[in-house]
Structure 1
Amino acid sequence: MPSTSMTSDLGPAPVTRRPGPLGQLADLAFRHRLVAVLAWVAALAIALVLARAFGGEFSADYSSPGSDSSQAQQLLESEFPAQSGDAVDVVVRTAEPATDPAVRADVEALLAELAGVPHVVSVDDPFAAPGGLAADGRTVLTHARLDVVDPTDMPLADTERLLEIAAAAETPDLEVALGGATIQLTEAAPIGSEGVGLLAAAVILLVMFGSIVAAGLPILVALAGLAVSATLSTVLISFVDAPDWSTSLATMIGIGIGIDYALLMVTRFREWRAAGLDDRAATVATLDTAGRAVLLAGSTVIVSMLGLFAMGLSFMRGAALVTILGVLVVLLASLTLFPALLGYFGKSIDRLRLPFLRARPVEVATGGHLEPTGAWLRWSQAVERRRVLGVVSGVGLLLLFASPFLAVQLGFPDAGNNSEGSSTRQAYDWQAQALGAGSNGPLLMVAELPDADAAADLAGVTEALGSTAGVAAVTPATTSAAGTTAVFTVIPTTGPQSSATEDLVRTLRDSVLPTATAGTGIDVHVGGATAAAIDSSANIAKRIPLLIGGVVLLSMFLLLVAFRSVAVAVKAAVMNLLSVAASYGVVALVLQGGWAGGLIGIDTPTPLPAFVPVLMFAVLFGLSMDYEVFLISRMREAWLRTGENHRAIVEGLAGTGRVITAAAAIMAAVFAAFILSPDIVLKVIGVGMASAIIIDATIVRLLLVPAVMHILGRANWWLPAGLERVLPQLHIEGHPEVYLPPRQPAERQPVAAG
């Protein structure tokens, strides 16, 4: 690329240094903008063809590999295929005793109609099965057995047919409620949260820029990247297992970072225009400075998501890969499509202004360097004056936010946490009232028998279980056709979320079963949904240190290489950990129910799925690094230019404060859209992500980080001589001086960007 030139009131100032690779890529995309746009259209077309030819289906295994509950499930699938599938709970309440001939006839007619729905292989007879009729004689519990193991494989139309049959059977004297994972998935159908988040982002961009063109560019870039990545993800899931919620997560992150990255570059483009550069030179300068920060920020998100591989769980790997694909494509759009669009809309960047929003001038400071003024400069100077108070108050606030997490309960939300009007919540409550809390969380026991004669010994095992404290009942065992496997159920006295139930599972495995089966050759596995949830939480909890250690160390290394500062890398890691801990505390607070939970529709104490904090950590650590990169790259730019630490911090914070707050508001709005979902897990993810972004962008980036850096002084930029020699020089801040006028004006001259 030839030397880029710019023009200002001071006359032409030729660029003497050849732009870096990103600047050259920007120049290529700008000059050949039609080709670049058509290339993205072609990429979408190719992705659509690949999706049609190789697209797969979502699937996820949430079990813990090698756990006792996992072994129980494998035995069920091989020896009792009819019982290994998912089941729909059918709870019927009658005004008269259910054994009354007329009432019984109505119940049996309902069950026969349910049995005729596709994928229903059988419906248990509640009048013959133990526990089918409650002690009050007016509550009937049975199960519709399905031929699908994964509830997501059940067609939505068939599940809705089950609900329609139940609703049609209701009379003033007969109430019906359906429960189970299959029904819960139908009730928690998505509501288009992505569209809500995108609309909120558009409003924030319009307020920030006041121009439809400037606000539209980031959205256009994000949508283009998402269109390609979402289509390609259907191809990816044909090779890896990924949960169905991974696309929502990837879409939300893609929208957020795509808009944030383009927002940063639109802001820098307007600054370069105000400094006197023409459209082409301003585009090259933008990618050669802000583009480097965007590339590093995207890399930190990818590194954080790679940390999920340390968990050793297939569904985590799948979610990570789908998200990484989205980040990579959106990042590519930011670095190639964005400069091409500037070729078309750069001259009109501040046009189509909204009449009620005043144009904000961009000022060119002494020496041609861009130096913000106004409220952000005053805030930055205030932080410098009150640096110690800023650190103490900032850390105190973060610890206060984090404190509720000390009382968090790990586990999986169940139907008892659903909204009160839902069918699954009614089935759960009716069953608990009539049959006891433990009936909602039965333990499915699968016994491996050495031979057919061991059935007599199994009777002694069930008797020992029945006399164990915390066990309400034990059903008779059913033996497989080969006589080598038996299955029976243990009903706890406590609910599935109770710590007493978790203690019971451990007691059965560690002491009761080993004693009861000693010398018999019988091996009994404790399975079922409740035991599987306990195993999954324990398995994830023990792997969390691997995730945290791996992500933190890799991110610190990236920052060390990028900014060549030990203090910056260590400070960023500590601040990010505090930020994530604070968001965990907010999540724990809303899960307690009460006033905080009531704000988002959680009205009962609810456990936190163990995979949620893991997922939040991976995503939030990467996104937090984005704002760190935006802020520190601008500080380092000023530090290299002036050699004055306090000035670098003040200028860096003042120059990026508005961008960081706008970017955080967009990201928070996108994640907050999850809160509208009826699914509790998605609500929790939305609350955690949105609160973390707000906390990080305000308390951490705009207060704690600059306050700590003012206290550290020149130590902020220290790097041992040994590392200085071996670390590569990335120049993440770019070479802004190359594009600035060589002469200094007598005084600062405001140049209106709009």
Structure 2
Amino acid sequence: MSHALTALPLRAARWSATHPWRAILGWLALVAVAIGLAATVPTQETTAADYRVGESGRADALIEEADLADPDAEHVLITAAGGGALDRTAAGAAATALQERLGATSGVASISPPQWSGSGTAALVTIELEDGHDDIAPLASATESVQRDHAGLELRQSGDLSLDEAIGDRVADDLASAEVTSVPITLVLMLLAFGALIAAGLPVLLAGTSVAVTIGLMAPLSHLLPTEPTVGSMVVLIGMAVGVDYSLFYLKREREERAAGRSTPDAIEIAAQTSGHSILVSGGAVIASLAALYMMGDPTFSSLATGAIVVVAVAVLGSITVLPALLATLGRWVDRPRVPLLWRLNARIGRGGISSRLLGPVMRHPLAALLASSLAVVALAVPALGMKTAHADLDTLPTDLPAVTTMKAISAEFPTEGASARVVVRSTGDEAGAERALDRLGDAALATGDFTGASEISTSADGRTSTLELGMDWSETDPRAAEAVRTLRADLAPAALEGIEGEHAVGGGVAEALDYDQDQRLALPLVIGTVLLLTMLMMYGAFRSVPIALLSTVLNLASVGVAFGVLALVFQHGWGSDALGIAAPGFVIHWIPLFVLVVLVGLSMDYHVFVVSRIREHVARGLPTRLAVERGIADTAGVVTSAAAVMVSVFSIFATLSMLEMKMMGVGLAAAILLDATLVRLVLLPAALVLLGERAWWPRHPRPAAGEPVAEPDPAYALSHR
């Protein structure tokens, strides 16, 4: 093992155990300072400009600079209360009343006369809002007031503000519910793992304080890198998962050594030298994986990476400093008060009791186990080869949100509101010539049949910037809309605007999706390669073994393949979607695969490092690899089971939430971690190591003669603390 990695947690544990109250008070001071920062430093959140990518991003910037951006709008859909034909006289009176009530409302720029649907069953009133107005309450109040006066009609409101508010509130409610649920579930799992209240509470307490510190630190950090509003909740869930795991590794080893007859100081020192080393390595692997997200250049991924990296680093710090101090202070009281039934159950099962039935056949027939488990992994991963990704749209939003159902009804009654592309020209010479060129472009676009409407040309106050909007009958997610925009960019716009001095760009919703997908396709292989390379290098640095580093990478790929395969099966092909209470959309939302990959690789390294470290300890003591694998797996099976149970439980909560993105993330991570902790780490890993034998440790075999005694406490230190 790396001497530096082993020495750091050992020195930290010795100091903390010698000065426990200093370490504890120091940690409490850190928590207090972080909470103070969160209360006093305003958080800088991301803005729409942070998400601009490619040509569509340039188009948005040009439109904003020229003050030509479309204002936010709200729509009121008027239909008959019982459905069927609409009474135009009553609907017109309701629309007039709505105009009167909203006319004096601040923030309203204009109100359109009612637009009648072709079927005659609906009318639509559009309310344009002043720039920067974001208060939906007066508009909703006016709609509700008119509704009360027209009982025979149904007035429903939706639009830019309504949808944003409804989605934001639902995401916040979902994540808050997940946060509240995760803590008691984690505490129950810790009680099952330890059978004692104090031992169960310590990991939850340290994880919770690590999250509190991180949320406090995110406030000043947001001024360097703006933060997504939902990152705080994601930090809570990731922080609880890794924070509990790290404390669990440390605490389990300390209790194990005390059960073997060691004194508390000796047990703390051994836990620091072994589990502390594993915590540093796995924490480094998680941070390395998350850091690769910065390569995407996406503010959502960058914000999430910052929060997750900070919470992992803080959890590592707490596990190797304040946890030893608490253990030294509590001594054997850490196993009090005991929960009688759970305590006896833990004692009866013992170390590795649950895994022995699975491990026995693997050790006797490693090749058969390796082949069978590999086939199972491949079978689960094969659907990932045909996985389709797409952007979230109206159809992926929860159907129980009134703003969503109303917007769907508006789209059904007024189907001309399809996708559009917006061409922006900033001229540095002949402004009139630029407008004529846009006229020609509109005619050429309509002649193709892909575009069904062209707007009036809008020109900025200084005359330098002009825009033309081209409509399509297809939705933004329709492949034909994407192809039409590609043709517009590659052929139509360059031909029509040839000779115009200045610059032009094609934007709009379809163009934004194309640019984002292109940007992600270019960055995704680089991110995947970086994640795998960094974790492989960290595994080599920790264990000085080429086969171990390569095997770790292969197992990570297997886990990622399973995650992607499960996502494709559930959300693309509909397997089990009924149990989730959803209709499978037929695709995976575009950002989910990358997020799942990075988080899964990082988190699964926690128990992978813990298991391999324990196996290496036995090899360093002189045991042959086969016996070291058997004992190492048996020693760590209970801890791995508990750690994986925490992660699976936390991420399974996401599958119960209403937002489809949250369901996808929860299903992918929970299924992959469950299979990773069982099939991959308890079958594939030991089978591969047994087949490799002593070659698994090439080029540096961890023999006792190499001068690396493992888990041997310093007699002088131990004697001074007995």
Alignment partners' CA distance in 1, 2:398 and 2:688: 45
Alignment partners' CA distance in 2, 1:329 and 1:256: 13
Per the alignment, residue 444 of structure 1 pairs with 422
Per the alignment, residue 118 of structure 2 pairs with 135
Question: SS where residue 506 of structure 2 aligns?
Answer: strand
Establish whether residue 45 from structure 1 lines up as the match of residue 40 from structure 2: no
Question: SS where residue 642 of structure 1 aligns?
Answer: coil
Question: SS where residue 174 of structure 1 aligns?
Answer: strand
Alignment partners' CA distance in 1, 2:680 and 2:396: 34
Per the alignment, residue 421 of structure 1 pairs with 400
Per the alignment, residue 20 of structure 1 pairs with 7
Alignment partners' CA distance in 2, 1:325 and 1:524: 41
Alignment partners' CA distance in 1, 2:560 and 2:142: 46
Q: Which amino acid aligns with 2:98?
A: L
Q: Which moved more, 1:403-412 or 1:233-242?
A: 403-412
- Residue by residue over 1:174-225, the C-alpha shift from the partner in whole angstroms, topping out at 9 and shown as x without a partner, is 3314144524323433232112112211111111222112111111111121
Question: SS where residue 254 of structure 2 aligns?
Answer: helix
Is residue 589–residue 597 contact of structure 1 (8 Å, CA) maintained in 2? no
Q: 1:382 aligns with which of 361, 368, 377?
A: 361
Alignment partners' CA distance in 2, 1:687 and 1:123: 45
Per the alignment, residue 211 of structure 2 pairs with 226
Establish whether residue 182 from structure 1 lines up as the match of residue 164 from structure 2: yes
Is residue 290–residue 305 contact of structure 2 (8 Å, CA) maintained in 1? yes
Per the alignment, residue 631 of structure 2 pairs with 651
Following superposition, the deviation at residue 543 of structure 1 comes to 0.5
Per the alignment, residue 720 of structure 2 pairs with none
Following superposition, the deviation at residue 300 of structure 1 comes to 0.6
Q: Which moved more, 1:99-108 or 1:544-553?
A: 99-108
Is residue 197–residue 672 contact of structure 1 (8 Å, CA) maintained in 2? no
Is residue 352–residue 636 contact of structure 2 (8 Å, CA) maintained in 1? no
Q: 2:710 aligns with which of 716, 735, 740?
A: 735
Q: 1:394 aligns with which of 373, 384, 393?
A: 373
1:269-418 equivalences in 2 (<5 Å): 269-359=254-344, 372=351, 374-418=353-397
Q: Percent identity?
A: 29
Per the alignment, residue 6 of structure 1 pairs with none
Q: Which moved more, 1:497-506 or 1:463-472?
A: 463-472
Following superposition, the deviation at residue 646 of structure 1 comes to 0.5
Q: Which amino acid aligns with 2:419?
A: G
Aligned CA distance change for structure 1 residues 328 and 381 (closer, same or farther; 3 Å): same
Q: Which amino acid aligns with 1:106?
A: A
Alignment partners' CA distance in 1, 2:105 and 2:23: 52
Alignment partners' CA distance in 1, 2:245 and 2:277: 14
Q: 1:483 aligns with which of 451, 454, 463?
A: 463
* TM-score between the two structures when normalised by the length of structure 1: 0.85
Alignment partners' CA distance in 1, 2:480 and 2:69: 31
1:590-609 equivalences in 2 (<5 Å): 590-592=570-572, 594=574, 596-605=576-585, 607-609=587-589
Question: SS where residue 277 of structure 1 aligns?
Answer: coil
Is residue 611–residue 632 contact of structure 2 (8 Å, CA) maintained in 1? yes
Is residue 584–residue 688 contact of structure 1 (8 Å, CA) maintained in 2? yes
Following superposition, the deviation at residue 566 of structure 1 comes to 0.6
Aligned CA distance change for structure 1 residues 147 and 214 (closer, same or farther; 3 Å): farther
Question: SS where residue 109 of structure 2 aligns?
Answer: strand
- Residue by residue over 1:138-178, the C-alpha shift from the partner in whole angstroms, topping out at 9 and shown as x without a partner, is 434465445677xxxx86xx345544544554444233141
Following superposition, the deviation at residue 53 of structure 1 comes to 3.8
Q: Which moved more, 1:710-719 or 1:455-464?
A: 455-464
Alignment partners' CA distance in 1, 2:489 and 2:477: 18
Establish whether residue 57 from structure 1 lines up as the match of residue 44 from structure 2: yes
Is residue 437–residue 496 contact of structure 2 (8 Å, CA) maintained in 1? no
Per the alignment, residue 103 of structure 1 pairs with 91
- Residue by residue over 1:676-703, the C-alpha shift from the partner in whole angstroms, topping out at 9 and shown as x without a partner, is 3333222222222222211211111111
1:454-469 equivalences in 2 (<5 Å): 454-469=434-449
Following superposition, the deviation at residue 563 of structure 1 comes to 0.8
Question: SS where residue 257 of structure 1 aligns?
Answer: helix
- Residue by residue over 1:370-426, the C-alpha shift from the partner in whole angstroms, topping out at 9 and shown as x without a partner, is x94634334322211232222222222222222333333322212222222322332
Question: SS where residue 55 of structure 1 aligns?
Answer: coil
Q: Which amino acid aligns with 2:681?
A: R
Aligned CA distance change for structure 1 residues 373 and 185 (closer, same or farther; 3 Å): closer
Is residue 21–residue 325 contact of structure 2 (8 Å, CA) maintained in 1? yes
Alignment partners' CA distance in 2, 1:616 and 1:591: 15
Aligned CA distance change for structure 1 residues 392 and 148 (closer, same or farther; 3 Å): farther
Is residue 196–residue 337 contact of structure 2 (8 Å, CA) maintained in 1? yes
Is residue 206–residue 247 contact of structure 2 (8 Å, CA) maintained in 1? yes
Aligned CA distance change for structure 1 residues 133 and 533 (closer, same or farther; 3 Å): farther
Q: Which amino acid aligns with 1:484?
A: R
Per the alignment, residue 584 of structure 1 pairs with 564
Aligned CA distance change for structure 1 residues 114 and 498 (closer, same or farther; 3 Å): farther
Alignment partners' CA distance in 2, 1:668 and 1:404: 22
In structure 1, stretches of 5+ residues that fail to align are 1-18, 364-370, 741-754
In structure 2, stretches of 5+ residues that fail to align are 1-5, 716-722
Q: Which moved more, 1:681-690 or 1:482-491?
A: 482-491
Aligned CA distance change for structure 1 residues 29 and 310 (closer, same or farther; 3 Å): same
Is residue 91–residue 140 contact of structure 1 (8 Å, CA) maintained in 2? yes
Alignment partners' CA distance in 2, 1:646 and 1:206: 33
Alignment partners' CA distance in 1, 2:84 and 2:211: 57
Q: Which moved more, 1:388-397 or 1:449-458?
A: 449-458
Establish whether residue 194 from structure 1 lines up as the match of residue 196 from structure 2: no
RMSD: 3.0
* TM-score between the two structures when normalised by the length of structure 2: 0.89
Question: SS where residue 446 of structure 1 aligns?
Answer: strand
Aligned CA distance change for structure 1 residues 34 and 499 (closer, same or farther; 3 Å): same
Alignment partners' CA distance in 2, 1:413 and 1:730: 57
1:406-555 equivalences in 2 (<5 Å): 406-436=385-415, 439-449=417-427, 450-519=430-499, 524-555=504-535
Aligned CA distance change for structure 1 residues 730 and 523 (closer, same or farther; 3 Å): farther
Establish whether residue 637 from structure 1 lines up as the match of residue 617 from structure 2: yes
Aligned CA distance change for structure 1 residues 470 and 388 (closer, same or farther; 3 Å): farther
Per the alignment, residue 109 of structure 2 pairs with 122
Q: Which amino acid aligns with 1:313?
A: D
Alignment partners' CA distance in 2, 1:186 and 1:67: 30
Alignment partners' CA distance in 2, 1:696 and 1:160: 48
Is residue 60–residue 242 contact of structure 1 (8 Å, CA) maintained in 2? no
Is residue 390–residue 477 contact of structure 2 (8 Å, CA) maintained in 1? yes
Alignment partners' CA distance in 2, 1:444 and 1:298: 46
Following superposition, the deviation at residue 307 of structure 1 comes to 0.8
- Residue by residue over 1:335-383, the C-alpha shift from the partner in whole angstroms, topping out at 9 and shown as x without a partner, is 11111211233312222222332425779xxxxxxx9463433432221
Question: SS where residue 190 of structure 1 aligns?
Answer: helix
Question: SS where residue 276 of structure 1 aligns?
Answer: coil
Alignment partners' CA distance in 2, 1:447 and 1:226: 48
Following superposition, the deviation at residue 592 of structure 1 comes to 2.8
Alignment partners' CA distance in 2, 1:555 and 1:629: 11
Q: Which amino acid aligns with 2:534?
A: L
Question: SS where residue 577 of structure 2 aligns?
Answer: helix
Following superposition, the deviation at residue 96 of structure 1 comes to 8.4
Q: Which amino acid aligns with 2:679?
A: I
Following superposition, the deviation at residue 624 of structure 1 comes to 1.6
Aligned CA distance change for structure 1 residues 493 and 247 (closer, same or farther; 3 Å): same
Per the alignment, residue 746 of structure 1 pairs with none
Q: Which amino acid aligns with 2:710?
A: H
Question: SS where residue 425 of structure 2 aligns?
Answer: strand
